[in-house]
Chain A
Amino acid sequence: MHAEPPAAEAMVPITVKIDFGPAEKPSVEQKISIKEGATPNEALKAFLPVEQGAICCDAKEIKTINGVAADPVKNRWWRLKINGTSKNASPYKSHLKAGDVMEWIYFEDAQ
């Protein structure tokens, strides 16, 4: 009997958009290849330096993207959208598929 060779992990294309908003860094839009089913965190980490930590509810949340950190004092936060909506978009629970648009938006709430 011959053992089956391990299946190659399928790579799929997605679009990454990063809007640095009030941090005033140039926004990013790029097509990248990711492992099919990767979480937004995994896909982002393969693309830019990030730091994770609890900012709301879980230590797996994204605190910093490319040096731009969530800031509770200035009321600035990172929001994730997948295919244009943040509803049900989780940085560590969602799974990306081919053609998805993953968008990270840095925004400031009034206070």
Chain B
Amino acid sequence: MKLLIFTLFFIVHSTSLFAFDVEGKIKLDPPFPKPVEIEVTGDHVKTCGTKKISQRVLVSPEGFLANAVIELKGAANPGFQNQNEKYVLDQMHCEFSPHVLLIPKGSKLEIRNSESVVHNVRAFDESALMQFNLPSPIKGYLIKKQFDKAGHYIVRCGIHKWMHAQLIVQEHPFYALTNDSGYFKISGIPEGNYILKIWHESLGEKTIPVNSKTSNVLVTFNS
């Protein structure tokens, strides 16, 4: 029995002993793009105002890029510890918030309407196949969905054409999203050589090799 306990302790401990983190920043080459204004027309002006700022490319004054999706490819999948967390995609100020959302495969997503504006929520998979089309008519309205298939989904409002969000349903936990400072961190990676994939909805994709010796990265996209 003592031997069994010792063996189990050694396996768990050794896994964490040889794990490493990858962290870094995603940057944009100058000149940095200016915020893109979207003109709101027709009846939508009453509820959404005359202009919206596109959420597609958000860059700090120093050129750091928000909302880039980072995926470590090639690691064995240890499963999720955060599958039962509450994931929320909100509709507020005629925008989806957050604009990019990562959720573990099999987790539940609440799509909430937090304003007194009628919305309509449509989700499409990577092959443009519509997954659902549901009304979101009143403040406080909730749509509950479970995503059992990993992949990249785009969520759109059928009424306000600019409104969209990127939903990444993760196959494994080794994902991260850059914050407003372009920073990300992926923790608990088993020792090994991997590929880090960086994807941004407007700027495209880059890949770089990483391992425990190159765990701090700076990746630059052309603007």
List A residues at the B interface (Cβ < 8 Å). Answer: 53-57, 63, 69-73, 75, 109-111
Contact = CB atoms under 8 A, between A and B. Distances in A.
A110 B128 contact: no
A70 B161 CA distance: 14
B164 A75 contact: yes
Given A53-B129, A110-B162, A111-B56, A73 B38 contact: no
Nearest to A64: B128
Interface of B: 36, 38-39, 54, 56, 122, 124, 128-130, 133, 154, 156, 158, 161-162, 164, 201
Nearest to B37: A110
A72 B133 contact: no
A69 to B, nearest CB: 7
Given A72-B156, A73-B154, A109 B162 contact: yes
B180 to A, nearest CB: 20
A110 B133 contact: no
Contact of A111 (B124, B128, B164): B164
Contact of B54 (A56, A57, A110): A110
Contact of A56 (B36, B38, B122, B129): B122
Contact of A54 (B39, B56, B133): B133
Contacts of B128: 55, 63, 69-73
B133 A111 contact: no
Given A53-B129, A72-B154, A110-B54, 6 more contacts: A56-B158, A71-B128, A72-B122, A72-B128, A73-B201, A111-B38
A57 B162 contact: no
A57 B158 CA distance: 10
A34 B130 CA distance: 31
Contacts of B201: 73
